[in-house]
Structure 1
Amino acid sequence: MPGRTLPPPPPPLGTRAWPDRASLLANRAQAVAALPRTSMGGAVLVQLWLLAAGFAVGWVLVASALRAFDEAIDPLSQMFGGVLLLLSAAFMVPTGLLIAFGLARDAKVRGLLRAWSALDRHPADDARFASPGLSLTWFLPSFLMCAGGLWTCFTGPAGAEQGQDTVPGVVLLMGLGMILWLTGLIGASKAVAHYRWALRLLPRGVAPDAAV
């Protein structure tokens, strides 16, 4: 899930990088406003879904390869299954790596957000981050994906009938359900983490709706 260039971390404690508090608050507000856009923007959510879709295509090819091996009657059929496995790797390896890099980047963004927001407190600027709109944009579809993925994982094998449903078919459903569930879990976790960070910016006892 590539994104924009991240702002640098704040200067170490004990150095005077700002001539006054107003300059510090200005740099802090700029960083705190820019960092969520690099990991919580709408384009990032679409990128996550596209990467998950690419990984799912690879899993479909894995299931097709298993079916080809299961029904192979000659070396040509086995060779076709091997080609499908190679194609699946071409989809799953790069998309899986990009998702992993995105998760590592998200962890770095969270660290930078904590570092910049800990420099000072300015409720007048921070109140806008307490709005649940951005978090809900991520949480609601992610929750639905989690629910759909778990439903697919459990109902697919449970509804399989001997003699009608093959092992590759069950593997396909379980894998697609797991991909849905993990993708939704990533999105929901990011939404909850972002909203918890935003609430910590508010003074104690102030409700989010009252701060906006």
Structure 2
Amino acid sequence: MSIPTPVERKLAHTRTVSFQGFERSDGLWDIEAEMMDTKPFAFDLSDRHRLEAGQPVHHMHIRITIDHRLIVQDIHTSMQAYPHSVCIKADQHMRKMIGCTMMKGWRKSIETHLGGIEGCTHMRELLFNMATAAFQTLAPKALASYRTPSENPNRPPPPHLGGCMTWDFKGPTVKAIYPVYFDWPNRTK
């Protein structure tokens, strides 16, 4: 199903965001994010030159290296386009994220280390969503063992179960894919 046809309009802004996950030969994983903002018209910035139509207002990259537990081992950033000269300093605190987990508490860690004037709004936004990209990257290998009964009958379920309507513990998807966790924690042992 598509969304309704809009009223007559003209393009004012485009933000392109991409995430990629890579399995490395050393057993670690790289999660990369890229964001670019452009406008379809020329305009003047407050402390820099004129930007021509299609020239990036923002163009940023982040690479996070994680282990199989989604703990940040390393982080690198690049700001190739930014609207104000002081923006180039915005990534100076990014290495504070080394040692943080991309599991529960990820957003809080980002706000603690890079919140407010400690960082860049756009880089924080990329970081927030990099956790989902990391989970999707590692999921096929990391979650395979959850589909069969464990030697530990009280083993906690995978972290995504119970997180949305599709992964409802009482729903058909959990029953079909993770039957050992169907109706968790009310199931009969």
Structure with greater strand percent: 2
TM-score by length of 1: 0.28
Structure with greater helix percent: 1
TM-score by length of 2: 0.31
Which of the pair has the greater relative contact order for Cα pairs under 8 Å at 6+ separation? 1
Larger Rg: 1
